[in-house]
Chain A
Amino acid sequence: MSQNLKNAAIAALLTAVLVTPIIGLQLQRQNFELTLIPHWDKVVLASAAVFLIQLLHPYLFRNGRTAIRLPAWPQLQPRQQRIGMLVLLAIGFAWPFFGSRGAVDLATLALIYVVLGLGLNIVVGFAGLLDLGYVGFYAIGGYTYALLYNYFGFGFWESLPVAAAMAALAGFLLGFPVLRLRGDYLAIVTLGFGEIIRLMLNNMTELTGGPDGISGIPKPTVFGIEMTRRASTEGGTTFHELLGLSYQSQHMVIYMYLLALILAVFTWFVSNRLIRMPIGRAWEALREDEIACRSLGLNPTAVKLSAFTLGATFAGLAGSFFAARQGLVNPESFTFIESALILAVVVLGGMGSQLGVVLAAILITVLPEIARGLAEYRMLIFGLVMVLMMIWRPQGLLPATRPQVELPT
């Protein structure tokens, strides 16, 4: 106990020293001169908190580091997972007809993250390749639609396959040389590529509009029928005229939501099928042991490349949908933080677990909205949760079940 008390006192003292110059003394500019405004109350508060946590530490973590009980789902069998997925789907389809306009819009955003999470899950979860530049492909998808509309007048539906193809091509071209690298190096090179793509979009002002981006991107049509108040072309019909409804902007929101839902279901379905195909098995095998795979005759580059390209394709789809939803794209939307956010979705959900990724994507978009009052602490808490999750539950909220046999050693 006295040892414990001593540890806690040392930790509190260290906290006080560390926190003082950052939080305790705030820099303030007054009459062209920097002055310091002391906030001793915050320093005392932080030290006291650390003291308490450190004091209670041995009781919280009685046997080792995983003793804390997080509210976690029990291990679900594949059958239960499927039921969970169906329940989610039913809620998803019912949502726009009961939720408010804001709730539906938020759900659309959550579904974009579901698509991105499931796409990155193919790369990180299935194939075990850490991609920190995923947002680059998302940006390519978004900008493809924006540029095609801006220069050639393409609509959403014509652009969607092109955006997916462009992102896939980018994934293929980038993946081809970099996939020979080992884990950490791969992470850094992909990060570098993501940054290069963003910087290029930012700097090629004549083509991409630079930091301002491209705005005025139209929303998708319903089989060629516009969903606006008035038709943009002479003599065209709009959606509400065709159905004899009065015009409501709510319809567009619901339509976007349903499209996002279809896109998410499509992504989930494709990745769910892929993982059961020989190529999916090859991804998982390669993740577990590359050398063994090579000696069994798998071509590691081809297998990794397929995962990388497919992951990029889904990012491209999500990107062009994002451009349509926002109506504008600019490089600000595609920073590294966005990559980290998508990676956090995959890791928090449990790498390789599709239901987990879906839940994590919903959590990560909805929680900040609920915690609006804490807006300025949002990213701080986000970082803290990422660290604590890794300490307490590195396998994610809903870990993927993997059949495995341990060899006696």
Chain B
Amino acid sequence: MADFLPQFTQQLINGLSLGAIYALIAIGYTMVYGIIGMINFAHGEIYMIGAYVSLVTLTALGAQSGVPLPIVLGAALLVSVVVTAGYGFAVERFAYRPLRGGPRLVPLISAIGMSILLQNYVALGQGARDVSVPQLIAGGIDIQMGEGYSVVLPYSRLAIICVTVVLMVALTLFIQYSRMGRACRACAQDMGMSNLLGIDTNRVISFTFMLGAILAAVGGMLIGLSVGRLSPFIGFIAGLKAFTAAVLGGIGSIPGAMLGGIVLGLAETFAAGYMPSQYKDVVAFSLLVLVLLFWPTGLLGKSRLEKV
């Protein structure tokens, strides 16, 4: 029993940081779903691209050279965010906008196609094998828990949690108080009416995709630095899990996506800690199935009545 507390704390930090990443990606899913009602299947790939762009920038700047670390990291983050937002914009423009207003199945299949396309595009450009990411944020806080037990909280994982909290607060304020945020909320409520009232809905939709891509890019860069490994195929599973998180929290609701991400991250980490670890993906998907069966609107979602 003595080792319970250290192990618990360690798992808590791991779970929270994993959940924070899921939450960052899940917001992209939930916002797009809230506004145009489609599952952007390619969003996981956008996250993977964000991770690659940040790694390329880090390498280009010469992470091991004399430039101070915060500047290098900041520059990589900036480049990654800008380029990935561009990808979000381009994907929506190319693959989804021409399909708007058609049957619901059509954009979903287009999104699956886009996901396959992006995955193989990166695999062709950067190679299909794993690349290792230099450990720039090394070390951690060593906490003595008494009786000789200690817990190491890696700085990279703490960075994930801090950055995510800051971004979530900023996003909430932005959606609540800015002009564009208000337009987003209006479009989510009633697209046709917003259009009539003079909101450029195409711009709002493009913006939503870019915002989702920005958050995913931050998540991609942080996970790369923390895990230390990237491959073109990390996006699919991460995207699926993030979607699970969005559904868990109630799709269409931004606080729901944050909550869902944290819950899923914790559930997965604790399940992996107390069960054979290869079953952690099974746990995540089972959670998805169970939530949808018994709680289809999610934790914070509103139920929608179908009108004739």
CB-CB under 8 A for A18 and B109, given A191-B240, A382-B116: no
Which one of B56, B120, B286 contacts A379 once the chains associate, using CB atoms below 8 Å? B120
Interface segment, one of B95-103, B156-164, B169-177, B194-202 = B95-103
The smallest beta-carbon distance between A209 and chain B, in angstroms, is 15
Q: Please judge, given known A-B contacts A22-B52, A291-B308, whether A390 and B113 are in contact too, CB under 8 Å.
A: yes
Across the interface, do A22 and B110 meet the contact criterion of CB distance under 8 Å? no
Q: Please tell me which stretch of B4-12, B20-28, B203-211, B274-282 contacts chain A, meaning at least 4 of its Cβ atoms lie within 8 angstroms of it.
A: B274-282
A337→B116 contact, CB < 8 A: yes
Asked if A27 contacts B55 (CB within 8 A), the reply is yes
A390 to B281, Cβ gap below 8 A? Answer: no
Q: Which residues of A are found within 8 Å of B99, using beta-carbon distances? A: 390-391, 394
> Do residues B113 and A387 form an inter-chain contact, with CB atoms below 8 A?
yes
Q: Which residue of A lies closest to B103 (CB)?
A: A394
One digit per residue, 1 when the CB lies within 8 angstroms of any chain B CB and 0 when it does not, for chain A 192-223 equals 11011001101100000000000000000000
Identity of the chain B residue whose Cβ is nearest the Cβ of A34 in the assembled complex: B59
**Contact A203 B240, beta carbon cutoff 8 Å:** no
Tell me whether A1 is interfacial, beta carbon within 8 Å: no
Greatest chain B CB density within 10 A among A22, A202, A380 is at A22
| Chain B residues within 8 Å of chain A by Cβ, number | 67
B86 contacts partner chain A, Cβ-Cβ < 8 Å: yes
B49 at the interface (CB under 8 A from A): yes
Bound: A337/B131 CA distance, A: 23
Interface of A is mostly: helix
Q: Establish whether residues A36 and B124, one from each chain, have CB atoms under 8 Å apart when the complex forms.
A: no
CB of A188 within 8 A of CB of B288, answer yes
Task: Digitize B109-145: 1 where CB-to-A-CB distance is under 8 Å, 0 elsewhere.
Answer: 1101111111111101111000110100000000000
- Chain B: CB-nearest residue to A42: B125
Interface membership of B64, Cβ < 8 A: yes
Contact assessment for B131 and A22 in the assembled complex, using a CB-CB cutoff below 8 Å: no
The complex places the Cα of A394 from the Cα of B100 at a distance, in Å, of 12
> Using Cβ atoms and an 8 Å threshold, which residues of chain B touch A386?
109-110, 112-113, 116-117
CB pair B116 A36 closer than 8 Å = no
* Given A337-B116, A394-B99: A185 in contact with B247 (beta carbons within 8 A): yes
**B13-50 interface code vs A (CB 8 A; 1 in, 0 out):** 00000000000000000000000001100000000010
Closest Cβ of chain B to A228, distance in Å, is 38
A193, A379, A385: the one within 8 Å of B289 (CB): A193
- Asked if B271 CB lies within 8 Å of chain A CBs, one says no
Contact partners of B39 in chain A: CB under 8 A: 184, 187-188
* B53, B125, B278 pick with most chain A CB within 10 angstroms: B125
* Residue B166 interfacial (CB < 8 Å): no
Interface string of B71-114 (1 = CB under 8 A from A): 00000000100010011011000110011001111111110111
Which 3 residue pairs of A and B lie closest in terms of their CB atoms, listed nearest first?
A: A386-B113, A383-B117, A383-B116
Q: What are 5 A-B contacts with C-beta separation under 8 Å?
A: A184-B39, A185-B296, A188-B39, A192-B285, A193-B289
Mark A residues whose CB is within 8 Å of B. Answer: 14, 17-18, 21-23, 25-27, 29, 33-36, 65, 130, 177-178, 181, 183-185, 187-189, 191-193, 195-196, 199-200, 202-203, 291, 336-337, 340, 343-344, 347, 351, 376-377, 379-380, 382-387, 389-391, 394
